[in-house]
Structure 1
């Protein structure tokens, strides 16, 4: 579990973007390239992400952001409109090789002990690669992580969901409430991705603990925490590869190792290093459960805090659950901010010129509420709306390979959950739900629910 200091109440569930918690805005320094773009200090706790991102949209189409732990003169850039994020994501002049192209990092202005480095620097997987290396590695991974493989997981997903639902009553606290985030939303995707990758049961909690450290961005996270997590991450992945080399199975790790070794023998050894294999597996572990973990949590929270939609749930069919998933991704997406690359040439976008060597951060959780796309109801949760357009899984060459799996898991999990517990209800006031202390991931730390309605007191 994540440790964190006292946090402000989470303001995510309400249907307006109004909030009193304003991020600090600084005057732009006198520079010809960026004078039009304000600088906004991002809350490292992520206490009110949608309020913060609404104010970023109001600040302009292109904004500079101050990330925690960096010097005052080192900023990242973000676009706040959905169409601009799509344009940026498809721009071939943008490089994902941040180590090479981020000027502040090259110039030594990024601290060696920056606690957030694990989300921006150092990893050697296809998320941080450019073509042609990215395309070759993506083709190799997609060759074993196929649509057929995802389809064939349906039975396993349903089984894992059923086992989690069976166990829920045993997790009631002294008040009869169950933390659905910890005991269902986490259990299902972690069970699925570990089954898919062949990760043994005893080490699964260690993987989760490392992911928690990686994504945490509040002031309790130290450079020592980050370094220790990195060491543990590589040790666990080394052990997994060694295990599956010695005893291959039908899991994705075994197949990926085979594809890796075959590619290396065919002349791709330079691009298929052992470290790149470890970092590719790590990408699958993190993306394979964190996204779905938060998506299930946020979808349940949305349904339980919108009585008009909740009342229709008993009549929901497959298409309705798909609509809930897509609307949750649009309205309450699982990733707030994520690295989007670096500029390798001056980039003019949204009327602002971004210089060479600048770090770009995608505001994936904020562009789903872009009123320019979804009109005056963009801030409202409405699964029945005609257009659920979002970029929650990215866009372009780096579109998330695991998106079909995340969607399938969430549809099955939601349908089975509300069928098993038709009286499911929130067991705490929505405004008392507190966010996970992260500027990256968007999710409440706990989601207390009641499984059955309490009997009415006797007259």
Structure 2
């Protein structure tokens, strides 16, 4: 394939779905330009993307398989630097990935996730009390700030054993990681603050270990450093904190927004003609919490025709690949001409919002659990819930990766 006339990705994410449509118009695989002029291939066809995500010839390890990184042509002020620089299961390949994933997988077994339900319910109830108090007298409440955000960060914080006082700082730095239009100074500041916070967490847990994932990871490192280096320990915590809640924040935010702007769909749920699982899966399809995820790299030349892609299309060794989840979720070839329509009764809600293959999100069951608890509780507590502004007045988060709203102002009714 010839890389020319790329779709220039807007780093501010002002029009996620419009940009996704432009990517799809270029075909199943489209040339895109990331911030700082970095080229990549955006894959938006669901079937082809699924095959690529599961193909061992596709890597996430820039050190091994992205010449631009190996040659030092990616500077630390690149807004996506942290996404590539970390050394954890997110960027690992092959045996390294299996080793790192197995260490974390113990925290996300089906049994352990199910055991978290009472705690998720308790946190949800406490947050709804806070929302009720904030909305007294018809006051406008920012539901993202007061409900969608604190629920998953509190749950992942408890899993990791995060001291409560670290919460505000971690929120600030995670927001910075997803801020894909950040300037050089902000990128450097975010990187430094994030690692300072993780080192502080490790220091605290080494002194006072507890029954939490951080303490377990530290024990793995300290007992046998060959299984988990100090850098991998820190980077694994970075991944858990950032990925462990941002997707769920956006899932809750987008689901509430979709139901409030599609009252007929909410009525179907209340009438028992659709389930809350239907709401969750349709939100993941139509409003993917992660719009596009950087980056993967071709380990060898990939003839896409062999994977069901277009004839003559080849991604060359070392070229970067962007997983275009938002574009794939609304692909009309897979979901029909009404793919842009939010429809909880849709028979096929298939999506790739949590990834696929070896890198499928370990936290997906927890994210779904939090949504299954939070959404029905919210709408049962506040049956008159309504947006406090016109839908067009809502602003997206400043990111082409994270897909949600900066705020979600509502009245409780």
The answer for the alignment partner of 2:100 in structure 1 is 137
1:76–1:360 contact (8 Å) kept in structure 2: yes
Give ranges in structure 1 of 5+ residues lacking alignment: 1-32, 453-459
2:380 aligned with 1:412:
no
Which stretch has the larger CA shift, 245-254 or 416-425?
A: 245-254
2:11 aligned with 1:54:
no
- What is the alpha-carbon distance in structure 2 between the residues aligned to residue 179 and residue 425 of structure 1? 12
2:138–2:411 contact (8 Å) kept in structure 1: no
Describe the SS at the equivalent of 1:366: helix
TM-score scaled by structure 2?
A: 0.94
The answer for the alignment partner of 2:284 in structure 1 is 329
- What is the alpha-carbon distance in structure 2 between the residues aligned to residue 246 and residue 111 of structure 1? 36
The answer for the alignment partner of 1:178 in structure 2 is 141
TM superposition shift of 1:282: 1.3
Describe the SS at the equivalent of 2:336: helix
The answer for the alignment partner of 1:421 in structure 2 is 382
Which stretch has the larger CA shift, 149-158 or 336-345?
A: 336-345
Across the aligned residues of Structure 1 and Structure 2, the Cα RMSD in angstroms comes to 1.7
Describe the SS at the equivalent of 1:434: coil
2:281 aligned with 1:338:
no
2:84 aligned with 1:84:
no
- What is the alpha-carbon distance in structure 2 between the residues aligned to residue 111 and residue 284 of structure 1? 24
2:79–2:179 contact (8 Å) kept in structure 1: no
2:171 aligned with 1:188:
no
1:101–1:343 contact (8 Å) kept in structure 2: yes
Pick aligned residue for 2:359 from 380, 398, 406: 398
Give ranges in structure 2 of 5+ residues lacking alignment: none
The answer for the alignment partner of 1:198 in structure 2 is 161
1:190–1:289 contact (8 Å) kept in structure 2: yes
TM superposition shift of 1:286: 1.0
What does 1:286-435 correspond to in 2, within 5 Å?
286-316=242-272, 320-349=275-304, 350-351=309-310, 352-435=313-396
1:336–1:441 contact (8 Å) kept in structure 2: yes
Pick aligned residue for 2:170 from 207, 213, 234: 207
Cα deviation 1:352-388 (Å, max 9, x = unaligned): 1111111111001210111121112211111111111
- What is the alpha-carbon distance in structure 2 between the residues aligned to residue 388 and residue 400 of structure 1? 18
TM-score scaled by structure 1?
A: 0.85
The answer for the alignment partner of 2:119 in structure 1 is 156
Cα deviation 1:145-183 (Å, max 9, x = unaligned): 322211111011001001110011333499721110111
- What is the alpha-carbon distance in structure 2 between the residues aligned to residue 224 and residue 271 of structure 1? 34
TM superposition shift of 1:245: 1.9
1:101–1:342 contact (8 Å) kept in structure 2: yes
Q: Are residues 238 and 379 of structure 1, via their aligned partners in 2, closer, same or farther at CA, if it must alter by over 3 Å?
A: same
Cα deviation 1:253-302 (Å, max 9, x = unaligned): 2223233434x1xxxx3341011011111111111110100100000000
The answer for the alignment partner of 1:69 in structure 2 is 36
Cα deviation 1:179-233 (Å, max 9, x = unaligned): 1011100011111111111111111010010011111122xx2212111111111
The answer for the alignment partner of 1:251 in structure 2 is 212
- What is the alpha-carbon distance in structure 1 between the residues aligned to residue 299 and residue 5 of structure 2? 22
The answer for the alignment partner of 1:270 in structure 2 is 226
The answer for the alignment partner of 1:118 in structure 2 is 82
- What is the alpha-carbon distance in structure 1 between the residues aligned to residue 91 and residue 367 of structure 2? 21
The alignment of Structure 1 onto Structure 2 pairs a total of residues equal to 407
1:177–1:450 contact (8 Å) kept in structure 2: yes
- What is the alpha-carbon distance in structure 2 between the residues aligned to residue 316 and residue 232 of structure 1? 47
TM superposition shift of 1:390: 0.3
